[in-house]
Amino acid sequence: MFKPKSIYYEKNIENYQLGKELLEKYKEVPKIEIENHNAIEEMRKKQNKEFADMKRNLIIGIRKTHKFVENHKISDFLVPYTSSGCIAACMYCYLVCNYNKCAYLRLFVNREEMLEKIIKVSNKSDKILTFEIGSNSDLVLENTITNNLIWTIENFKDNKGMLTFPTKFDMVDDLLPLDHQGKIIVRMSVNPEEIINKVEFGTSRLRGRIEAINKLKEAGYKVGILIAPVIFVDNWRELYLELIQRLSEDLSEKAKKDIFFEVIFMTYSYVHTKINEEAFPNAINLYNKEIMTGRGRGKYWYKEEIRKEGEKFFREQLKIYFPNNKIIYIV
Ligand code: SF4
């Protein structure tokens, strides 16, 4: 159970039900009032080595921008939702943007406004739209603090459209009894156990994630598997083959019947390198100049020949172990 070290909060959260509940829930935790969750001077000044410690704080505010971004992968729109940032610390996390500014968990208490906008857009559309609500944080993790996922599923189920989110966590038991009406697509992100241990600090183990997939399928949810991000460590073939074999052995028949795959290769950045070498000095170095190349604005990705080799590998192996399952994309 996450117990924040301090809470930084905007005064207005007291005007929202969830804001009141969180202030009551954490009444023993020291609190600092802030003007704006986007600009906490004290956090900006923190050193890279304080990165993990900084994530022990909780920031609570009101989301002011509700701009939907068109998307053409698994959803129609990426939607800013009830949180941003995370208390885990995956070394490649793309939420680590401008240094330490937005890596910590921020909760937004105006969930009614956010869900209302989704419902309005969805119900007005001629086609069935899918909204990605988890691109800024991990909602299964957030749910353990706010119950927002339960609230969202219960309040969305009678409307048109679908909601989807990725997760690296296995705390799904509270979602199982919900009447979700088949409108939720959970996408479980997996990696080989060795990579989870060395890179995805603070997330659920592989076994827990596989069990969560089986439970969610049993409860009638639509579920996908994100093999992501694929990291081309020296023994990647061996590790990812073991992962695919393990999935094939441990997933239930129900899960294997219609689960789909997304495969995403890791992108990395100069900012990650700087933070990680100071915050996690004993961790492995994910930047490998032999096989990575610049992608503009301090970002790196794997060279084309490596990505092609990776794509071939995943297509071949998934065809062997999951011949009837769809691969939505490999990027
Ligand atoms: S669990 Fe997701 S959001 Fe949290 S640190 Fe890892 S990649 Fe980032």
Q: What is the pLDDT along the chain (331 residues), one digit of tens a residue?
A: 899 999 999 999 999 999 999 999 999 999 999 999 988 888 888 888 888 889 999 999 999 989 999 998 899 999 999 999 999 999 999 787 655 557 899 999 999 999 999 999 999 999 999 999 999 999 999 999 999 999 999 999 999 999 999 999 999 999 999 999 999 999 999 999 999 999 999 999 999 999 999 999 999 999 999 999 999 999 999 999 999 999 999 999 999 999 999 999 999 999 899 899 999 999 999 999 999 999 988 899 999 999 999 999 999 999 999 999 999 999 9
* Atom of ligand 1 lying closest to residue 168 CA: 1
- For residue 78 the two structure tokens come to 């990426």
Question: Atom 6, ligand 1: which residue's CA is nearest?
Answer: 90
CA of 85 to the centre of ligand 1 (A): 7
Residue with the nearest Cα to atom 8 of ligand 1?
93
Give 185's strand partners.
164, 222
- DSSP label of 157: T
User: CB under 8 Å to 79, separation ≥6 — which residues?
Assistant: 66, 68, 114, 118, 131, 132, 133, 135
Report whether residue 264 contacts ligand 1, using a CB cutoff of 6 Å. no
Token code pair at residue 246? 């393990």
Encoded amino acid at 135, one letter: S
- Pairing relationship of beta strands 105-108 and 200-201 according to DSSP bridges: unpaired
If you take atom 3 of ligand 1, which residue's CA is the nearest one? Answer: 137
- Per-residue confidence (pLDDT) for residue 45, from 0 to 100: 83
Q: Assess contact for 57 and 40: CB atoms under 8 A.
A: no
| Spatial separation of the C-alpha atoms in residues 270 and 279, rounded to whole Å | 14
The DSSP call for residue 285 is P
What does pTM read for this prediction?
A: 0.96
Considering the four listed CATH numbers 2.160.10.10, 3.40.50.300, 3.80.30.30, 3.30.70.20, the one that applies to the domain covering 7-330 is 3.80.30.30
Query: By the 8 A CB rule, do 51 and 100 touch?
Result: yes
Q: Name the residue ranges covered by the structural domains of the chain.
A: 7-330
What residue has token string 């503009």?
296
Closest Cα to atom 2 of ligand 1: 138
Interval between CA 127 and ligand 1 midpoint (Å): 31
Q: How much distance in Å is there from the Cα of 126 to the middle of ligand 1? A: 34
pLDDT at 101: 59
Report the C-alpha gap between 198 and 282 in whole angstroms: 10
pLDDT at 16: 98
Place of tokens 């080595």: 49
CB 148 within 8 A of CB 139: yes
Q: Is the dihedral of CA 34, 40, 41, 46 positive or negative?
A: positive
SS3 assignment, position 217 = helix
pLDDT of the residue at 4: 97
Residue 262 in contact with ligand 1 by CB distance below 6 A? no
Spatial separation of the C-alpha atoms in residues 244 and 92, rounded to whole Å: 22
Q: Distance between CA atoms of 79 and 57, rounded to whole angstroms?
A: 24
Give residue 237's identity as a one-letter amino acid code. Answer: R
What's the CA gap between 294 and 229, in Å, rounded? Answer: 18
- The residues, ordered by sequence, that sit 6+ positions from 158 with a Cβ below 8 Å of its Cβ are 181
Cα(226) to ligand 1 centroid in Å equals: 13
Residue 69: phi, psi to the nearest 5? -110, 130
For a ligand 1 pocket test, name from 203, 231, 269, 280 the mutation site with the most ligand atoms within 8 angstroms of its C-beta: 203
Q: How far is residue 272's CA from residue 284's CA, in Å, rounded to a whole number?
A: 12
Alpha-carbon gap, residue 166 to 134, rounded angstroms: 6
**How far apart (Å, rounded) are the C-alpha atoms in residues 61 and 71?**
26
Which tokens in the block code for residue 292? 């990575």
Distance CA 285, CA 154 (A): 43
